[in-house]
Amino acid sequence: MANPKVLVIGGGIGGMTAALVLARFGAEIDIVERNRRLGGHAAELGCKALDACVKCGACLVAETLEAAATHPRISAHTDSRLEAITGSDRFTYSIRNASGRAIRGEADAVVIAAGFRTFDPSTTSYGYGRFPNMITNLDLERMLRANAKAMRPSDGGAPKRMAFIQCVGSRDAKLGHLWCSQFCCGAALRAARLIRHRQPQTDITIFFIDIQTFGRDFESFYRQSQHEFRFIRAIPGDAYQMEDSGIRLAYMDDTSRQSREEVFDLVVLSTGMVPPEGLAQTADDLGLALASSGYVAAQAHRGLFAAGAVRGPMRIAETIADARDTACQVLAFLGIKGGVPEPLVAERRPLVSRLVAPGRG
């Protein structure tokens, strides 16, 4: 197919990865992204390396973002919404940006890479939004990027006692969210180790159901973490704010089967992934089935393709791999033959690679 056009819905790490592979094989790409910048949630993550890389994936996002933003065959429409889309053999769509201008186009294929939302914890009994020292994992990420350390939002002071509560909005039958969000355990432990390294006076407790594995070095990483932090196999049911803005957590001790309460200076809610806003409407417009979880059920359907966490919770490396696989499926659908793998960036980043179009080396 000569001069194929692909619409990519979502400019996170999945959408950018798919767009890069397709663009390097000659496809023209329109990316539509609701936020003012590309990168999605992953762009908010900071590097967690201490004396060596801990494979958090943050560096992969920055490198992919730079490559996608400068590619001549990729047009990124940020702060924009997909206003309408129709078609089967060929798709007609309309994108409306923040200034109200409509951008219309046609595409031979569509990649849905809308990523995910994080669960809104203001609907829980933890007091998020009311208690200043009750924050989310993404709030903590922004804090570490801006200040390089953990701080109490109430007074800017360093927390002496800090807690992470895992699985907020995930693995919850009452919500109908039975899935594990994959990234929360690794993100919490990496952030906790970074905080302990920079603020050794901070005592850290992690409330959990169980710790999900992540990465090839998980076992040694987890064993070391068990020496550094206190792990409590329980999820607090209630939170109360103290006069000094500390947070009192009530939980059931798994060993003694007795109710206990403890006070912390700062509490981090590890909020899980949920399907992105507007996905149900887009899927309905395109006749694409969603699973009972609300995620996209099929990876490919009549020129429609799905990539990354829109298909279910994934970590950054998994999202990159899935988006590359999806891009290969799109290339086959368009009748474009593939080439051979070649690194996208420096050899020290083996997870980020690209396909080289025939005749380019």
Residues 149 and 157 sit within 8 Å (Cβ to Cβ): no
Position 50 scores a pLDDT of 65
Predicted local distance difference test score (pLDDT) of residue 359:
35
Tell me if 276 sits within 8 A of 310, measured CB to CB: yes
Q: What are phi and psi of 294, to 5 degrees?
A: 100, -5
Determine phi and psi for 329, rounding to 5 degrees: -65, -40
The owner of tokens 């129709």 is 86
- 10 Å CB burial of residue 311 (0-12, 13-18, 19+) is buried
Q: Do residues 229 and 192 lie in contact, with contact meaning Cβ atoms separated by under 8 Å?
A: yes
**pLDDT tens-place values along the chain, 361 residues long:** 678 999 999 999 999 999 999 999 999 999 999 999 998 888 777 766 666 665 666 677 888 888 988 999 999 999 999 999 988 778 999 999 999 999 999 999 999 999 999 999 999 999 999 999 999 999 999 999 889 999 999 999 999 999 999 999 999 988 989 889 888 888 899 999 999 999 999 999 999 998 887 666 778 888 888 899 999 999 999 999 999 999 999 999 877 788 999 999 999 999 999 999 889 988 888 888 899 899 998 777 789 999 999 999 998 889 999 999 999 999 999 999 765 444 443 333 333 332 333 332 3
State percent of the chain over pLDDT 90: 63
Collect contacts of 139-143 with beta carbons under 8 A, ≥24 apart: 139/268, 140/191, 140/268, 141/44, 141/45, 141/46, 141/191, 142/44
Q: Of 330, 350, 288, 348, which is closest to residue 28 (Cα–Cα)?
A: 330
Contact 247, 263 (CB under 8 A): yes
Terminus-to-terminus CA distance in the chain, angstroms? 22
What CATH topology corresponds to 119-272?
FAD/NAD(P)-binding domain (3.50.50)
Same fold, 5-116+275-355 and 119-272: yes
Question: What pLDDT does residue 338 have?
Answer: 62
CA dist 77 and 98 (Å) reads 10
Both tokens assigned to 360: 């380019």
Give the Cβ contact number of residue 120 at 10 Å.
14
H/E stretch holding 276 reads none
Q: Any idea what DSSP says for residue 310?
A: G
pLDDT at 107: 97
| Chain centroid offset of residue 243 CA | 35
CA distance linking residue 135 with residue 265, whole number of Å: 11
- DSSP characters for 61-73? HHHHHHHHHT-TT
Both structure tokens of 43: 């762009």
Residue 146: φ, ψ to 5°: -80, -35
Bridge-based pairing state of the strands 203-207 and 161-168 = parallel
For residue 171, what is the DSSP state? S
Residue 213: HSE in the Cβ half-sphere, 13 Å Cα cutoff: 6
Rounded Cα gap, residues 356 and 361, in angstroms: 7
CA distances from 108 to 24, 75, 90, 102 (A): 16, 16, 5, 20
Domain ranges of the chain: 5-116+275-355, 119-272
Half-sphere exposure of 146 (CA within 13 A, CB side): 11
CATH topology for 5-116+275-355 is FAD/NAD(P)-binding domain (3.50.50)
- Identity (one letter) of the amino acid at 264? F
Report H helices in the chain: 13-23, 58-69, 137-147, 184-198, 218-228, 279-286, 316-334
Instruction: Give the pLDDT confidence score for residue 116 in this predicted structure.
Output: 94
Contact between residue 343 and residue 334 where contact means Cβ atoms under 8 Å apart:
no
